[in-house]
Structure 1
Amino acid sequence: MRDTPPLILLAAGGTGGHVFPAEALARELLGRGARVALVTDSRGTRFSQELIVPVHRVKACPLGKGLFRKAFSIAVMGIGVAQAMLLIRRQKPSAVVGFGGYPSVPLLYAAARSGVPIILHEQNAVLGRANRTMAPMAKALCLAFPHVAGIPPLTDTKIVQTGNPVRPAFAAFRATPYPLLDEDGAIRILVLGGSLGASVFSAVVPKALAMMSEALRHRIIVAQQCRAADLEETRAAYAGVGVIAEVSPFFTDVPERMAGAHLVIGRAGGGAIAELAAVGRPSILVPFPHGHAGEQKANAEALAGAGGAWLIPEEVFSPEALAVRLESLFSIPGTLIKTATAARGWGTIAATDNLADCVYDAMGLPTPKSLAGLTSNPDASGKEGNLALSTREFYS
């Protein structure tokens, strides 16, 4: 009888930037015969419906400001650590992989206390607070960007350059050529606002299109992700300037839309950068200006510095500035094609494999070959199990 396959817990914050890379790694680990479970907060469960793996929730909250809020945060995180210790005792994982975000901290700390190997993955060009806190306890610190700021002293020997895992749906379009852009054809713009949408794009993009020449404006077709609260106003704004636009709070087919776009306008999260590079599409990046360490600005600078994007800080992202940029780009299509090629060349398409290899190295196990197509946990015989998605909360 074969040994029970290793169980690997993936700890991720509840936004798509943390959970989507965890999903990509989960698919690869399942394909290699491992068992996988996701540990996140209540937000993260909505991103994990495509995989049939257990989802566990433990208590966590960000560190608040002020004495009372800090004390409350510490108390909640303490409960989370106790829950995570119980989870580890019950599940007996072989490794824990952290993808950042405060919900990952209780499980990572409990794993360190329990002697379970920790592997961290940083999706951004600036090390996040959760990963920076846990880096001294980790066995490996896997990076998506060639240069990452904020790495603690004495952790250099733990660094592994893996790249940022992207979901297979994006990787599948890597070989798709840049869409033909002729003189009279449609110009497709995809506007993405991050996992929560972004009001700035609804305020700026329709007005910018109104300032463009009529000949160009009437060729433009927009697909925009926007906040639900801005939905009707944004639709009316596009209709008012005569632009065909599909506006929705969430698109389920972003990979296909990205592959068909001539230009993407959006935020600069680490996951978004990796997806743009995987598909190979030019973008105008407007970094979220309120990140704790300017990580989105650093992300955008990395891709723009490689010639794969254009960076416009939000404080100067005006309708006038965007209109001038769009007129220039669509008047000289060769620039868009060149930028698309540079974006594709910047990405690390083997990132998921690299990260999975690192996990097996940390466990001290030989690296098995992947069996594509598994989306649920195998049983002890190595066959795919029939395990329904479950969400469990552990309380002390």
Structure 2
Amino acid sequence: MTKLTQPDISTANDAPLAGQVIAVTSGGTGGHMFPAVALSKALVRRGAKVLFFTDARAARYTDGVDGVQTIILPAGGIAGKGLKGRLMGAARLGLGTLKARSMIKKAKPAVVIGFGGYASIPATMSAKWLGIPFAIHEQNAVLGRANRLVARAAKRIATSFPTVTLIDPNDQNKVIWTGSPVRAEVAALANSTYDVPTEDGPIKLLITGGSQGARVLSEILPTALVNLPEGIRTRLVVTQQARDEDINAVRKTYDGSGIDVTLASFIDDIPERLRDCHLVIARSGASTVAELTAAGRPGLLVPLPHAIDDHQRFNAQQVEDAGGAWLMPQDRFSSETVTDRLAKLLRNPAALTRAAKAAKTAGRANAAERLADMVLDMLGLNPAGTPDAENISKKDQGDTQ
């Protein structure tokens, strides 16, 4: 796939965006908001004032972020809803678009950057109609529906993965692989060393599922781990996320197994757990995969089967193809098959080490700064002499690593 050459990471200490207003817009879920907020902070560090357009769910993500003014828009989803829900969602999007268009016309941002989700449509569509250059960032390995609506008019399409499905072939010359920004504590793990499990030392597992995906992991994994051979089972140190209503049943399954287990409905020290773990077992949403690849940790990934456009399977497939994870479809995710798979993996530290190294190749470090450099490039403020996208020669295209 032909891609734009990624601008060099800027190391300038000045404020190249001083006096510039940049608009950022995102849907209100964490998968959209985390990278959008990370870019906003990077832009503020470079001197910009950021207008952040989102919906009411997301105010907590931007609350108190210096240099960022949050504008709440009416917005609603359409996909997967009945006729009444689609009509209500469309009406809210219409109201949100009127508000966004009015505010963008008044503020005159130099650039608009959209991160997908239905709440991003009002600002990106307004930019299109007002002739303001805009770019989109896609967190998944499938171009999301909101981003698809505006991709043709976008000046840049930034991606989290080297390959993203459903991007029109005519738009491939606008694609730039930036990676997906992660929180600073996780980004710092890019320089950490994978601690290979020793022959008789502890084996640390991190199990996360999120609100939608934790139930099946809670139903299958405790039994699968308890049924491991004793020589593996008694070395396990497990941190597992489980829904509040499932925790007692999960704890009962682990009781008496000899497994050192910590259960929580929310794990508030993920960066530390990720740093220390030997294997992650998780769904393959955008945020999970971004953190897994940023830290360089091997994963056993179980895609949510009903995710829109099956994007979790595509996410997991990209990491598996890079050698950084093993994809296990939910219809094959039984306690017996998981026990068998884990017994083989946990007896093979060399395979885990190879996967840890390979996981980093599926993501990109410094993604927030790469995105900020893309904004500079769009404005002609090219860091380190990076050429404008329109002038990149064919010999410079293709290899973005």
**Following the alignment from structure 2 to structure 1, what is the Cα–Cα distance between the partners of residues 224 and 160?**
33
Distance in 1 separating the partners of 2:27 and 2:329: 26
Partner residue in 1 for 2:346: 330
TM-score (ref. length: structure 2) = 0.85
Alignment partner of 1:152 is 2:181: no
Kindly indicate whether the alpha-carbon contact (under 8 Å) linking 1:32 and 1:368 is maintained by their aligned counterparts in 2.
Answer: no
Which sits farther off after the overlay, 27-36 or 204-213? 27-36
Higher RCO by CA contacts (8 Å cutoff, separation 6 or greater): 1
What residue is the counterpart of 1:384 in the other structure? none
Runs of 4+ in 1 over 6 A off after TM superposition: none
Q: Which stretch of structure 1 is more off in the superposition, 49-58 or 106-115?
A: 49-58
Deviation at 1:47, TM superposition (A): 3.5
Q: What's the TM-score once normalised by structure 1's chain length?
A: 0.86
Q: How does 1:1-396 map to 2 (within 5 A)?
A: 5-48=19-62, 51-52=65-66, 53-63=68-78, 65-194=81-210, 196-239=212-255, 241-367=257-383
**Does the 8 A contact of 1:268 with 1:285 survive in 2?**
yes
**Greater mean deviation of Cα atoms: 358-367 or 22-31:** 358-367
Q: Secondary structure at the match of 2:280?
A: strand
Change beyond 3 A, Cα 1:192–1:15: same
Alpha-carbon offset, residue 200 of structure 1: 0.9
Q: Deviations over 1:166-207 (max 9, x none)?
A: 222112111211124222221110011136552111111101
Cα-to-partner distance string for 1:371-393 (whole Å, 9 max, x where unaligned): xxxxxxxxxxxxxxxxxxxxxxx
The residue identity in structure 2 corresponding to 1:331 is R
Give the secondary-structure state (helix, strand or coil) at the position aligned to 2:281.
Answer: strand
| Matching residue's letter, 1:63 | I
Mark the runs of 5 or more structure 1 residues left unpaired by the alignment: 370-396
Q: Which amino acid aligns with 1:207?
A: T
- 48-57 vs 346-355, greater mean Cα deviation: 48-57
Aligned-partner residue type, residue 329 of structure 1: L
SS at match of 1:43: helix
Do the aligned partners of residues 300 and 50 (structure 1) sit closer, same or farther apart at CA in structure 2, a change above 3 Å counting?
farther
Report the CA distance between 1:120 and its aligned residue: 0.2
Q: Which amino acid aligns with 2:204?
A: R
Does structure 1 retain, via aligned residues, the 8 Å contact 2:136–2:154?
yes
Q: Distance in 2 between matches of 1:69 and 1:343?
A: 40
Deviations 1:297-349 (A, max 9, x none): 11111111111100000111111111111111121211111111111233211
Shift of 1:210: 1.5
**Cα–Cα, structure 1 residues 219 and 144, in superposed 2: closer, same or farther, change >3 Å?**
same
Percent of residue pairs identical:
42
Shift in alpha-carbon separation, 1:21–1:195, aligned structure 2, 3 A: farther
d(CA) in 2 for partners of 1:132 and 1:235? Answer: 44
Supply the distance in 2 between the matched residues of 1:310 and 1:36 (Cα, whole angstroms).
39
Look up the SS of the partner of 2:352 in the other structure: helix
Partner letter of residue 271 of structure 1? S
1:58–1:103 CA contact under 8 A, matched in 2: yes
> C-alpha root-mean-square deviation of aligned residues, in Å?
2.2
Distance 2:42 2:201 in 1: 40
Distance in 1 (CA, whole Å) between partners of 2:84 and 2:19 is 45
Stretch deviating more after TM superposition (49-58 or 347-356)? 49-58
Deviations 1:206-226 (A, max 9, x none): 010111112211211111222
Deviation of 1:240 after TM superposition, in Å, equals 5.2
Runs (5+) with no aligned partner, structure 2: 1-15, 386-401
When you count helix as a share of all residues, which structure comes out higher?
2
Cα distance, 1:292 vs structure 2: 2.1
Deviations 1:79-115 (A, max 9, x none): 1111212332443322211111111111211222222
CA distance in 1, matches of 2:319, 2:48: 34
**Structure 1 residue matching 2:308: 3-state secondary structure:** coil
